[in-house]
Structure 1
Amino acid sequence: MPDVLGWRGCFGVVTPSTNTVVQPEYDTMRPRGITNHVARMHIANDPLNSDADFDTLISRIDAALEAALERVLTAQPDRIVLGISAESIWGGGLAAARAIQDRVDRMTGGLPFTQAADALPAALKALGITGPVGLVTPYFPVAHSHLVNYIAEIGCEVVAARHLQRPSPVGIGLTPLATLRDAINEVNRPEVRAIIQFGANLPMMQLAAQAEAWLGKPVLAINAVTYWHALRSHGITDRIAGCGRLLEEH
């Protein structure tokens, strides 16, 4: 018997406890008949002052994955969506993503699973994007090599990057839109074919959609990319307005 509200699919979303953006942005993109059910990966809102602090944060998030999965599985979701992007590629790009997939599969028995590392190459393919890209993140410089290597694996080259070094996990979600606008413009070199934003707690989705209009090129907010891939992989083809070209046209 299908769920009364989620008759097309119930998505179990796993995201850090400090994340205040994934849930509202996913709900903005949610079509009728799909429901989102959020479980939190418990972490502290400790200050971020250095590369070492940020690396520790990723390790703590990673360690909290299974407990959050265990909680959300009690809702009997049809699909798991990983609402964090850095963990998906940290320490090995696509190989790291496969390790995450294996851990999730062991917990879920093989439920359909969506993560940023798989969603982004699908989005780039749909948009016909290869070659030079710009990158915006809330991260510290320690993240740069992880992201550059992963993006190279999927057929693009980071030629400009802005890492905002936000002061705490919650502070990522408090990033002013003017700061994000300036970061987009900073990495928008003439040769850049698209701008990619990592960091699922950056409130970027609607700004990215607006930026596509003034830049004339794709601006891929990672939450829009991940949720688009979850919908399309689940057989949901609804076009979603106001959330960027990817959801409106593909």
Structure 2
Amino acid sequence: MTVKPDALGHRLKVGVVVPSTNTTVQPETDSVRVEGVTYHIGRIPISQKKISTDNFLDHVAAMRAGIEVAADQVLTAGVQSLIMGVALECFWGGLKGSAELQARLEERLKVPVILGSEAIRAGLNAFGAKKIAVLTPHMPKGDDEVRNWLTEAGFEVVALEGLKCESPLAIAQVQESEIRAALMRIDSPEVDALVQVGTNLAGARVCAEAERWLGKPAIQINTVSAWHAMRSAGITDRVAGLGRVLEEH
């Protein structure tokens, strides 16, 4: 029996799993949309309570517990791949931890799974970048996981700044002016590329702008994840205005 293509997502339908408090992944991912590619959100229920160094691991555990439920939910839309719109889970436990997460989800869902960590690695490799500066919204424990993963992946983390946002909602309340100032603080002449981690940190436009005034790639986790999902599916459309990785690779 011939299966008709989806009317809007006739080239690719991508599921995107995010925490329920996340208000940034959906609009930033949709901004990358090209003709025939659509993105569909599944939400992991988590609380809005404050995050501190003491309860940070509880926050991570709550997200981990709901990933498979949210992924199962969005799979019913007939998606052909899945973006993990949860940054920390993609870095937790180094390369081994992220590989195990990806393998477990792909075995369960039977579709390719795009991790933000792997998308960032692919984006950096596209530019041949080795020395990087990283901005996150996380507490120190989360920053350690991000640094460790990137180091294991072969990058030298020259600088890393965590904004220590106090709650999941507070991450989305960080203004573009604050992100801009942070990117300027972590940059230096020895840095090949900048990286923004944290899927609820609204830095897509700022990172694209930063590439012009800093003269180097600025990889943003949401837009590079959408890029990686499209390229992994053989879709090579270029998108202007959201960063060089989408314009050049």
Compute the TM-score of the two structures, normalised by the length of structure 2.
0.96
Distance 1:156 1:100 in 2: 21
1:103, distance to aligned residue in structure 2 (A):
2.2
1:54, distance to aligned residue in structure 2 (A):
2.2
Q: Report the number of matched residues.
A: 246
1:245, distance to aligned residue in structure 2 (A):
0.3
The match for 1:231 is 230
Distance 2:128 2:158 in 1: 18
Say which SS state the counterpart of residue 16 (structure 2) adopts.
strand
Runs of 4+ in structure 1 deviating by more than 6 angstroms, as ranges, are none
Pair 1:205 & 2:204 matched: yes
Gaps of 5+ in 1: none
Gaps of 5+ in 2: none
The match for 2:80 is 78
Note the alpha carbon deviations across 1:52-93, whole angstroms, 9 max, x for none.
222221111111111101211111111111111111111x22
Among the aligned pairs, what percent are the same residue? 41
The match for 1:94 is 95
Letter in 2 for 1:120: I
Say which SS state the counterpart of residue 196 (structure 1) adopts.
strand
Note the alpha carbon deviations across 1:191-230, whole angstroms, 9 max, x for none.
1111111100000011100010000011111111111100
Residue among 12, 16, 20 paired with 1:13 = 16
1:96, distance to aligned residue in structure 2 (A):
1.1
Residue among 33, 38, 57 paired with 1:35 = 38
Say which SS state the counterpart of residue 96 (structure 2) adopts.
helix
The match for 2:25 is 22
The match for 1:127 is 127
Compute the TM-score of the two structures, normalised by the length of structure 1.
0.95
Note the alpha carbon deviations across 1:125-175, whole angstroms, 9 max, x for none.
111111x21110000111222111111122211121111011210110110
The match for 1:157 is 156
Distance 2:5 2:101 in 1: 28
